[in-house]
Amino acid sequence: KQEVTQIPAALSVPEGENLVLNCSFTDSAIYNLQWFRQDPGKGLTSLLLIQSSQREQTSGRLNASLDKSSGRSTLYIAASQPGDSATYLCAVRTNYGQNFVFGPGTRLSVLP
Amino acid sequence: EAGVAQSPRYKIIEKRQSVAFWCNPISGHATLYWYQQILGQGPKLLIQFQNNGVVDDSQLPKDRFSAERLKGVDSTLKIQPAKLEDSAVYLCASSPLAGAPDTQYFGPGTRLTVL
């Protein structure tokens, strides 16, 4: 059974800092991995999708990497802004399941 | 295009009462999902519909939860009777392609508090 964890649970940084969010999964037989953003009172928004054959994906100031062998993914946010404050969740889709298993999320606060 | 709509946004009930949530997916989306997100946890899939048929309800507590998707469009999720541990945000999502959950569009959720 796939289990997904995220460290840290919460993070507070000053504006302008570069930061890394971590995601770990127990079963390396994954189909893909997706990073989502969740704002209070709102649903999830997809940020980046990494297929199992890829090592990383980039979108603007965001870069996500995937290391299947070690069961890890990282989300790198460059030059953080207060608008980046949200909860970031990673979700893993396994080869044997159609749907995602979500991690608990990292709550990020970027202070002006 | 309009997003996924959910109502009500908030609901407070006492244990053993019943409650229903409504979801209107993006027009034309074949697949609809209901998730339960307990505070501090990631969303957990409760049920997946493709058109008006159930694809996956393996994690739905069927003794108290039920869901239907009439005419392959709107969907309702019902809890009867509610327990304290049902307090959570219930998220609805839809996907345009059958068998392709990678692109899911989420609604804002319904926050349920069971007292």
| Of A90-94, A95-99, B97-101, minimum mean pLDDT range | B97-101
Contact B29, B10 (CB under 8 A): no
State whether residue B43 sits within 8 Å of chain A by CB: yes
CA distance B106 to chain A (A): 5
Residues of chain A positioned with their CB less than 8 A from the CB of B109: 41-43
- The token duo for B50 is 């493709």
Q: How many CB atoms lie within 10 A of CB B80?
A: 13
Q: How many CA atoms lie within 13 A of A73 on its CB side?
A: 37
CA distance A94 to chain B (A): 12
Q: pLDDT tens across B43-54, in order?
A: 999 999 988 899
CA angle (A85, A88, B1) in 5-degree steps: 85
Q: pLDDT tens across B24-33, in order?
A: 999 989 899 9
- The token duo for B18 is 């019943």
For B102-115, what is the mean pLDDT? 93
State whether residue B25 sits within 8 Å of chain A by CB: no
Whether residues A89 and B4 touch (CB distance < 8 A) is answered with no
Torsion sign, CA atoms B112, A5, A34, B57: negative
Residues of chain B positioned with their CB less than 8 A from the CB of A91: 42
Answer with the residue of higher pLDDT: B70 or A87. A87
Q: Judge whether residue B99 has pLDDT over 60.
A: no
Whether residues A99 and B48 touch (CB distance < 8 A) is answered with yes
The secondary structure of A63-102 as a DSSP string is EEEEETTTTEEEEEE-S--GGG-EEEEEEEEETT-SSEEE
Give the pLDDT of residue A99. Answer: 83
Q: pLDDT tens across B50-96, in order?
A: 888 998 999 999 999 999 998 889 999 999 999 999 999 999 999 98
- The token duo for A20 is 């890394």
CA distance B55 to chain A (A): 10
For A33-52, what is the mean pLDDT? 93
For a pLDDT cut of 70, what percent of chain B falls above it?
A: 96
Rounded to the nearest 10°, the torsion over CA B95, A98, A24, A58 is: -40
For A37-61, what is the mean pLDDT? 93
Q: Judge whether residue A8 has pLDDT over 80.
A: yes
